[in-house]
A and B are shown apart, each in its own frame.
Chain A
């Protein structure tokens, strides 16, 4: 049972490039989330999904897209990367609504220069 896995661990992008951050969980959780964490700040929700085929925007969705074709996978797509997207990205999952414990992946540290 690997829990929540994320790839890559680190990435440097040039302005205007695109990339996909991968996230997978093997706990059969319906709910999955993407957060970003800027230095000295708490986590901010980008997108979430309540099940395969269903996604919705969080607090800071601009510049990102997601898809959820399976229960296990929840990739985050960055289009036209900007320096403001330099951050650490965490994927999380939970069995049920957010009132239950969320399990976090190890994070992806992204730098846009």
Chain B
């Protein structure tokens, strides 16, 4: 059975801290892993990773994929209160047509 597991499930940090969110996956015929940020409403896209070892970066956020160990991490440096959200990772299902989501990591950044 395909599965995506995220850890931790929730996290509270102070502004300025650096956080690392984890995502492990077991997906048949893996294609790519995606990270989304979900605030009050719909998930918004952050990164798509298809190759091992190549870091994707956007401002204070970065992510990397390890296809040998079947995991990905999302790093956020110098956290701000606006980073408070649920971060979802998702891997493609074996059909390749849709995403298999983890339960998410709920991040709270306190002032």
| A interface with B by C-beta (< 8 Å) | 31, 33, 35, 40-45, 48, 50, 56, 58, 90, 97-107
Contact = CB atoms under 8 A, between A and B. Distances in A.
Interface string B91-111: 011001111111110000000
B65 interface: no
Contacts of B102: 42
Contacts of B104: 41-42
A38 to B, nearest CB: 10
A106 B93 contact: no
Contact of A106 (B34, B41, B88, B101): B41
A104 B97 contact: no
Given A42-B88, A43-B43, A43-B88, A100 B48 contact: yes
Given A42-B88, A43-B88, A101-B48, A56 B41 contact: no
Given A104-B43, A106-B42, A107-B41, A98 B96 contact: yes
B93 A98 contact: yes
Interface string B11-22: 000000000000
